[in-house]
Every structure is written in structure tokens, then in C-alpha cells.
Structure 1
Amino acid sequence: MLREWAVQERRQTTYNEGSLFDGHGQRKYLTQSESRCLLALSTKDGRQTRMFCHLLYYTGCRCSEGLQITLRRLDPETGRIIFRTLKRRHTVFRAVRVPRPFLRELTAFAASLGLGPDDPLFPWCRQTAWRRIRKLMDRAGIEGPQATPKGFRHGFGCHGIGSGLPESLVGRLLGHANPNSTRVYTLVRDDEERALARRMW
């Protein structure tokens, strides 16, 4: 039984090590410079697209989770956005802290449209949201498997671990049920690796 567990553990580790790269070895996460470029470009797009782009960057939420955000899910008192975590058997909510100016902008935007407390801030289908973000990435010249809304999510995980956040906190912010899903981000520490590489060279 112990041997069987060890084989499963090796398989899981192998999968996790490769899960931030596609079958051709290309990364699936956005770097901080790519994310900043997208955020800068998004200021020239419509207000909703810009805010959705910032939502993905600040929270690492899944695209479908971001589309479920309503005025009721914004908590100005604590400076958090409440997400209903997807890919769970039972209903689970998580709170993710965001910059207060961004939270105020989301609240003001909802008020300007006269949205009710349960009306979605981004009334798009998943494909529309995907296309809007992909179009922005095309304009930024970002190509490859990272050029999707999920690239923000993977980038959030990498940046969180690279910034020294505890692995458990990053997992909670991303809504991971399995710690192995978070552990994969510990394998990518771009800034730390660059510093060590400079010392080696």
C-alpha cells in the first residue's frame, strides 16, 4: 500500500511540475511585465473591459467566477470581493482583498448603471469575456498559451508565491481544495531565479 501511495505521489508531482507549461514547454502564466502592459492597454478599452481585466489581475479568479460578481459581493468595509468558488462539490465562498480605489470604482460603476444588488457587473457570457481579454492580449503582442484569461490566474499564483505569501494563503485566495494545486506555483520563482542566476554567472 505504501508503494502504491509513492507511485501516486510521483505521478502527482510530475503532473504538477508540468502544469504551468504546455506540451511544447511554453509557459501558461503571465509575467508581471506582461500583466502591467495589459493593464496599461486596458485603459484605452471600454470601462467594463478595463475593470474586468483588473479584476482578474488583482484576484486571480477564474473567468466564470468574475462574471458572477454582483454589488452584493463587494464588501467595502473589509476591502474584499466575495467569490463563489467553482469546481467544488459544495457551495464555498472566499474573500479576496483588493485595492480600495478599485473596489470603490466597481461600486460606483454598478451605481452608475442602476444595477440592483444581485445584478452581475459584467453581463457577458464566458465566451464574450474570453474574446475581450484575448483581443487585448493580441494588441499587447502576447502570444502563446498564457494569452488567455487563465494566464492572469496562473500569474497571480506565481507572483503571490514569489512575493513571499504563505503557500496556504495563496491556495485560499485562489480557492484551491487540494494543496498540490497551489504547490505547483512554488516551482516558478522568476525574480528569485534571476537573482540566483546572476550570482552563478
Structure 2
Amino acid sequence: MQLFDPSGARKYLTVSERTAFLKVAERAPRDVRTLAMTLAWSGCRLSEALALTADRVDLAGGVLVFESLKKRQGGIYRAVPVPPALLEALDLVHGVREAQARRDRGRSLRLWPVARMTGWRMVHRVMTEAGLSGPAASPKGLRHAFGVAAV
């Protein structure tokens, strides 16, 4: 993982920037807040988050199950542990338990049924309101921040 772009600019959010992002996200519309929390706490790619369906939210196990979109083949999944507060927010906002009780177990319910560019704008708006700018002020900046924090 490259932490800096060719000009030497940092590609990840610092701990304080990530905290500011999450604080602003708390005041955002509910679907924007849950998308922001998912990106910050799971380290997933924006496209992976937008492809997330209710059946891949494991409330009992405390994980989100993402299909890897970078492997160039379908059917490769990874489970990422996330805080209980995120799981509770996903259930409250998106009706995860209710969807999982249906016949298809929630396979047909995308949590954020928006295009990638719309998702990017949602996240970028929160970044701007948090006073963040530059290469790190993006969904990828959250992913890199997650990786840096994990190390």
C-alpha cells in the first residue's frame, strides 16, 4: 500500500481527521451517516460498500461480509469485524433484521442503492464539512487510514 502520492502528499487520513469525519457524519442524513461509518470502520472500498446487501450483515457475528471487487473474479468474500454501534445503525436505518427475515434473507436489499459517483459525492460532502481536503479527503483516504491504524 502506497501511503503517499507521487507529489509526496499523504493518501490517508490521520486519527484526528478520521475522528472529525465521523463527528460530521453523525449530523448527516441517516444513509450518508451509515455509509461514512461503514467506510471508516471496515476499510472497504466504496464500490464494495455500495454493493453490500442486508444478507451480508452478520449481526450475531459482528461482521460485514464484503465481496472483493479487486480480485477480477466473483465469489471471493472477506468478513470484517466492525463495532456494534455500526451494526445497530445499519439495522435501524436500513431494516437489516426485517430484510433478513424475508424469504430471500435480504439478498435483494442493497443498503445504498446509489451509483458509485453519488456515493463518492456523499462521502466527499462530509469530508468538506469536516474541513478536510487534498488526496486523503476521499473514500480511498478512509481505506488507507484503516490500513495505517491496523498496522
Instruction: Please confirm whether the aligned pair reaches a TM-score higher than 0.5, indicating the same fold.
Output: yes
Residue matched to 2:77: 93
Residue matched to 1:49: 32
Runs (4 or more) in structure 1 with deviation over 6 Å come to none
Give the superposition deviation at 1:71.
1.0
The answer to whether residue 130 in structure 2 is matched with residue 130 in structure 1 is: no
The correspondence of residues 37-186 of structure 1 with structure 2, limited to 5 A, is: 37-90=20-73, 91-111=75-95, 117-118=106-107, 119-161=109-151
Distance 1:41 1:107 in 2: 21
Give the superposition deviation at 1:105.
2.1
Greater helix share, 1 or 2? 1
Q: After the TM superposition, which of the residue ranges 137-146 and 26-35 deviates more from structure 2? A: 137-146
Give the superposition deviation at 1:102.
1.7
Question: Which one-letter code corresponds to 1:81 in the other structure?
Answer: L
Higher relative contact order (CA 8 A, sep 6+): 2
Work out which of the residue numbers 19, 42, 52 in structure 2 matches 1:36.
Answer: 19
Give the superposition deviation at 1:153.
0.3
Distance 1:144 1:66 in 2: 22
Q: Which has the larger radius of gyration?
A: 1
Question: Which one-letter code corresponds to 2:150 in the other structure?
Answer: G
Distance 1:111 1:135 in 2: 25
Give the superposition deviation at 1:43.
1.3
> 1:149-190 CA deviation, whole Å, 9 max, x = no partner?
1000000000000xxxxxxxxxxxxxxxxxxxxxxxxxxxxx
Q: Give ranges in structure 1 of 5+ residues lacking alignment.
A: 1-15, 162-201
Q: Secondary structure at the match of 1:142?
A: coil
Question: Which one-letter code corresponds to 1:139 in the other structure?
Answer: E
Give the superposition deviation at 1:44.
1.3
TM-score, scaled to structure 2: 0.88
Number of equivalent positions:
143
TM-score, scaled to structure 1: 0.67
Distance 2:91 2:126 in 1: 24
Q: Give ranges in structure 2 of 5+ residues lacking alignment.
A: none
CA RMSD of aligned residues (A): 1.6
Distance 2:77 2:90 in 1: 19
